[in-house]
Amino acid sequence: MSQKRGQPKNRGQFARDTSGAIAPSDMLKRTSSLGQSRKNEAIASGSEIAQKIIRFKEMKAERDGTTYKPPPAASEPGPPIKPADDAPAEVIANHAQSNNPRTRAHAACHRNANPETLTAMAHDPDPGVRAAVAYNKNTPPEVLESLAQEDNHRVNQSLAGNPSTPSHVVESLAARDDQSLRYYAAMNRAASPQLLDTLGRNGDDLVAENVVRNPNTSGATLRRMCAHPNPKITQYVALHPNTSTDTLTRLTRHRNLAIAGQAESTLYKRRQQGN
């Protein structure tokens, strides 16, 4: 077989560098070893600097007549562990004691975490773990209310979307000048029809979409949401079980054929069910 023009021989033994010259593979190995050697030197240099800092603090402590106590070495947390979906509460409680905050967060949002474990984890130093506690439906309402007092954004987002959060806490969070909190509050399956009506007047498409998909949204709110400029919102109105027959009949004459067809389909299913 003839050699293709421009194709180098012994491609497994040679490689081109950035200048176009061909370097043997053993030269590449030596280059790699040199890079590793420099890396080791940098690590050793950093270790020497750390030792000098400790020695300086010891000398300063001796001068002041005190004793320098170095901080305890950080324990290795190890890789995060996510418990199985059917893990019992005892296993979740064990994971809650992990050194790894991600493992604790997995335990805090697990469906089998019991209220006692979640109550203890509400005081975790990691905000991600506390946000997972605020997300869990098994967390006692009084614990959720106490978490709202720390005013952490991630925790507040979880609280706004948790159906176990007391209604006055959800309403307080939704009233803030924070679009993300209104988004999660509109998604909350325990949100009151009054709150959803208020959120539906917000004007944001993502909040409005959650409002028209929430099973607690009233027929009056859905009728008003038909005028929303986003056709996707109107389609969800045509799908909602709380949309009145009069509103659906009006939507069958909508200029958007997809919306009109969805309204016709919903009316047909209701007639078939005898509603």
Following DSSP, what letter does each residue of 138-206 receive, concatenated? Answer: TS-HHHHHHHHTT--HHHHHHHHH-TTS-HHHHHHHHTSS-HHHHHHHHH-TT--HHHHHHHHTS--HH
Q: How far apart are CA 228 and CA 234, in angstroms?
A: 7
Question: What pLDDT is recorded for position 202?
Answer: 83
* DSSP code of residue 15: E
Average pLDDT over residues 264-271: 95
Per-residue pLDDT tens over the stretch 86-142 = 999 999 999 999 999 999 999 999 999 999 999 999 999 999 999 999 999 999 999
Per-residue pLDDT tens over the stretch 5-17 = 555 454 444 344 4
Number of alpha carbons in the 13 Å side-chain half-sphere of residue 137: 6
Give the model's confidence band at 203: pLDDT under 50 very low, under 70 low, under 90 confident, else very high.
Answer: confident
Question: What pLDDT is recorded for position 113?
Answer: 98
Domain residues of the chain, as ranges?
87-191, 202-275
Residue 252 in this model has a pLDDT that exceeds 80:
yes
Q: What is the pTM of this model?
A: 0.69
Q: Which CATH class is domain 87-191?
A: mainly alpha
Give the CA radius of gyration of the chain.
31
Residue 46 in this model has a pLDDT that exceeds 80:
no
Percent of the chain with pLDDT over 90: 68
Question: What pLDDT is recorded for position 188?
Answer: 98
